[in-house]
Amino acid sequence: MFDLFLPPHEKKLKSSLKNILGISPKNITLYTQAFRHNSVAKEIKEGVKDSNERLEYLGDSVLNAVIADYLFRKFPYKDEGFLTKMRSKIVSRNHLNQLALKLGLNKFLSQTNDPNLKFSSMNGDAFEALIGAIYMDKGFYAAQNFILNRILKFHVDVEKILLTETDFKSKLIEWSQRERQEVRFTVVEEQGNGYDKQFMIAVMVQGEAVAQAQHFSKKKAEQLSAEATCIKLGIT
């Protein structure tokens, strides 16, 4: 009944989201905001814009909680380190961007035509904002059901992700180029001889040692030290 009073674009959004979510949105205003990029948002109070950033923040927390619970139950004999790595892979910005495109969320985004936004994380941000909107509109269990039964069940191959090795060195170098930070991998110590030789590799950021790791393979030591650096610096 109330749909009769909705503007045409909100009616269309509500219909499309019902197919994606499996439930009918109640407060369509939340979902409209979930797809409003900061580039087109208006200031509503003291520097706060009506963009999707607050919903993104909320959705990020809900998504991490649901994925953590899912992995905890799925892998009862794996340690905290394994669970953390798996969760990081599933909720990585690149993976969330891919999920958003699979769902077609990019079609709903309101944004400027700035070409610099083409390769940004706005699709993944909108995905998290959508989860935040579901949480605010329908509650935690509706958001959990969407993540488990609409996303993980049909769009995430957990076993494939399990076998995927993240190239942390490349990720760190990409971050350094983006943030204009100097990153160097330095051999700080070599132990043993021949087949027993091990390499201690330190990652230097702006001349400061951030993390180090040791392995028989120099390449593996670089990957391990890069991974430790990414975790320490919060690079996802």
Select from 145, 107, 138, 148 the least CA-distant residue to 28: 138
CA distance 31 to 4: 18
Domain 168-233: CATH architecture, name and number where available: 2-Layer Sandwich (3.30)
CATH 3.30.2320.50 fits 2-163, yes or no: no
Q: Rg of the Cα trace of the chain?
A: 21
| Average pLDDT, integer, range 206-235 | 86
Starting at the earlier edge strand, list the strands of the sheet with 198-205.
183-191, 198-205, 208-215
Query: pLDDT tens digit string along 162-174?
Result: 777 667 888 898 8
Query: pLDDT tens digit string along 23-55?
Result: 999 999 999 999 988 777 777 777 677 788 899
Domains 2-163 and 168-233 share a fold: no
Catalytic residues: 60, 128
Residue with tokens 């509650």: 139
CA distance 212 to 185: 9
What residues does each domain of the chain span?
A: 2-163, 168-233
CA distance 223 to 229: 10
**DSSP letter, residue 167:** -
